[in-house]
Amino acid sequence: MGEQGEQLGVMPLYQAREVAKAHGLDLVEVAATSVPPVCRLLDYGRFKYEQAKKEREAKKGQKIPTVREMRFRPSISDHDLASKIKLVEKFLVDRDKVRVVIMFRGREITHSDLGWKLLQKVAELLKDVATLEGHPVMEGRRMVAVLAPGAAVKARKNRETEEVKGS
């Protein structure tokens, strides 16, 4: 193909190189598996720049989910719990996973059922925006559960982006 996209036809390699040199362009092989191979005349530096630009644009739209961590104690007060749950909800709306950790100190470990109840309470309070991934697990003196953004969060986030585009 020529520089404007027109077909130049089938020609030997040496002739294609001469045409490229005459136009001050590069001969770039586009489809090596076809018979005969398909080549284009173009400025290779500009082509690489355009490809890199397209890749950057594609990356802009993506959000890499991260895992955030929120730590609780079994004897947390209601107000502290409410403020931490508000933060967890914000993380979930931003499509981040949240690792909820109940930390036990000293003899608190003997009452791991309190930690279990607290995790159930957190999951219940966030049931409209999160789903619990797996069961809570004891890791030494810590009880860990992972909350993932639920379908409602994704739907809400999509609605918000559509409203922004519409305005």
What are the residue ranges spanned by the domains of the chain? 13-59, 67-159
Confidence of residue 150 (pLDDT cuts 50, 70, 90): confident
Distance between CA atoms of 15 and 5, rounded to whole angstroms? Answer: 18
Considering Cα of 85, then 126, then 67, then 154, what sign does the dihedral take?
Answer: negative
Q: Give the pTM.
A: 0.56
Cβ-contact 38, 30 below 8 angstroms? yes
pLDDT at 62: 74
- Exposed/middle/buried for 2, CB within 10 Å: 0-12, 13-18, 19+? middle
Cβ-contact 155, 93 below 8 angstroms? no
CA 3 to centroid of chain Cα atoms: 37
- Tell me the average pLDDT across 71-94: 90
Distance between CA atoms of 54 and 36, rounded to whole angstroms? Answer: 29
Do the domains 13-59 and 67-159 sit in the same CATH topology, yes or no?
no
- The mean of the pLDDT values for the chain is 83
Return the ∠ at Cα 121 (arms to 104 and 129), rounded to 5°.
Answer: 120
Model confidence over 4-19: pLDDT tens digits?
566 777 888 888 888 8
Pairing assessment for the beta strands 130-139 and 142-149 based on DSSP bridges: antiparallel
Model confidence over 35-74: pLDDT tens digits?
888 888 888 888 889 989 998 888 887 777 788 999 999 9
Q: Given a cut of 70, is residue 167 above it in pLDDT?
A: no
Confidence of residue 144 (pLDDT cuts 50, 70, 90): very high
Cβ-contact 148, 131 below 8 angstroms? yes
Distance between CA atoms of 72 and 74, rounded to whole angstroms? Answer: 7
Residue 95's nearest CA partner among 66, 124, 71 is 66
Which CATH number is 13-59's, of 3.40.430.10, 3.10.20.80, 1.10.10.370, 3.40.50.300? Answer: 3.10.20.80
CATH superfamily of 67-159: Translation initiation factor 3 (IF-3), C-terminal domain (3.30.110.10)
